[in-house]
């Protein structure tokens, strides 16, 4: 066998931006653009935090599942990552994806190190709402009724907080293996405020996913979130829960991403 040529590999129809937040934090933004033209209502958009780890799998899953004649309508995928290109940049994600809590409420880290700076979730959401999402909308025709956010672990904590604190920002919220435990379940207190204030003026969809082989407190936390949403099911909030019995905290990701795509793009 003779190798004729060796080249670096880049997925088709993908671009990369570098954006800087108003706080001077740089973000690596990966975007998968559909080959098909936008439908009359515009493209659905799937935003994913931890984009350095998630983007490629989500983009390829969307590409395969939107093939015609039987596939879903095309969708743009936006992965939000960091200049380090690490699959999980703990310093950055710990700040961006978490609610501000007393460090004394946090468990010891497995590596024995102190927790990185945390609690910057609202500044990160400001970046999404005021800079990234308008930039995407200015480049492509976007369907405002199919704007989704996906995150896993601390990212799952983030997507829950996003729905509860800024429910108008995304129509579809997917929380994979959410770190409900953060700050002694602080996100559940945010959920209480959301439920008390929800008027049902518009519809929202929430999907919570967990692996059956995850630690028991992870499974229980996900279940608690779903159970507490029950009063809103008749008030315009569609809530779904999936537990993949044989999957752990990381191995659940491919299954979660497959269901994410179906959840967002199914009518």
**What's the whole-number mean pLDDT along residues 164-173?**
98
> Edge-to-edge strands of the sheet including 204-211?
14-20, 26-32, 75-81, 43-49, 142-152, 172-176, 204-211, 237-244
Residue 9 lies in a domain: no
What is the pLDDT at residue 70? 82
**pLDDT tens for each residue of 202-216:** 999 999 999 999 999
**Cβ(214)–Cβ(246) under 8 Å?**
no
pLDDT tens across 221-244, in order? Answer: 999 999 999 999 999 999 999 999
The tens digit of pLDDT for each residue in 76-125 reads 999 999 999 999 999 999 999 999 999 999 998 888 889 999 999 999 99
- Domain with 255 in it: 14-265
CA distances in angstroms from 181 to 26, 161, 218, listed in the order given: 28, 13, 8
In a domain, 199, yes or no: yes
**Average pLDDT score over residue span 182-210:** 97
Total number of domains constituting the chain: 1
Residue 21 lies in a domain: yes
Q: Could you tell me if 97 and 124 are in contact, meaning their C-beta atoms sit under 8 angstroms apart? A: yes
CATH number of the domain that residue 178 is part of: 3.40.50.1820
Query: Is 4 contained in some domain?
Result: no
Of 94, 150, 83, 88, nearest to 119 by C-alpha is 94
Residue 1 counted as domain residue: no
Distance, in Å, from the CA atom of 189 to the CA atom of 196, rounded to the nearest integer, reads 11
Q: Compute the half-sphere exposure of residue 46: CA atoms within 13 Å on the CB side of its CA.
A: 34
What does the alpha-carbon distance between residue 18 and residue 132 come to, in Å, rounded to a whole number? 11
Q: Does residue 8 form part of some domain?
A: no
C-alpha distances in Å from residue 102, one per residue of 116, 184, 221: 13, 10, 20
């Amino acid at each position: 066998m003779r190798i004729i040529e060796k080249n670096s590999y880049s997925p088709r129809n993908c671009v990369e931006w570098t954006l800087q937040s108003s706080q001077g934090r740089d973000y690596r933004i990966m975007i998968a653009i559909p080959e098909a033209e936008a439908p009359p209502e515009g493209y659905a958009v799937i935003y994913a935090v931890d984009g350095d780890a998630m983007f490629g799998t989500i983009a390829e899953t969307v590409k395969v599942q939107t093939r015609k004649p039987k596939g879903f309508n095309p969708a743009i995928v936006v992965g939000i990552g960091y200049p380090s290109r690490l699959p999980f940049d703990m310093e950055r994600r710990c700040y961006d994806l978490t609610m501000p809590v007393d460090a004394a409420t946090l468990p010891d880290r497995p590596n024995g190190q102190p927790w990185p700076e945390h609690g910057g979730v609202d500044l990160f959401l400001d970046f999404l709402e005021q800079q990234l999402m308008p930039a995407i909308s200015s480049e492509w025709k976007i369907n405002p009724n199919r704007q989704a956010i996906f995150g896993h672990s601390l990212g799952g904590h983030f997507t829950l907080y996003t729905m509860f604190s800024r429910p108008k920002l995304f129509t579809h919220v997917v929380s994979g293996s959410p770190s409900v435990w953060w700050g002694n379940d602080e996100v559940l207190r945010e959920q209480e405020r959301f439920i008390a204030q929800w008027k049902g003026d518009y519809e929202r969809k929430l999907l919570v996913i967990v692996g059956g082989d995850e630690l028991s407190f992870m499974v229980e936390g996900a279940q608690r979130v779903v159970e507490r949403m029950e009063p809103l099911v008749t008030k315009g909030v569609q809530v779904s829960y999936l537990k993949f019995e044989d999957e752990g905290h990381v191995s659940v990701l491919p299954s979660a991403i497959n269901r994410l795509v179906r959840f967002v793009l199914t009518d």
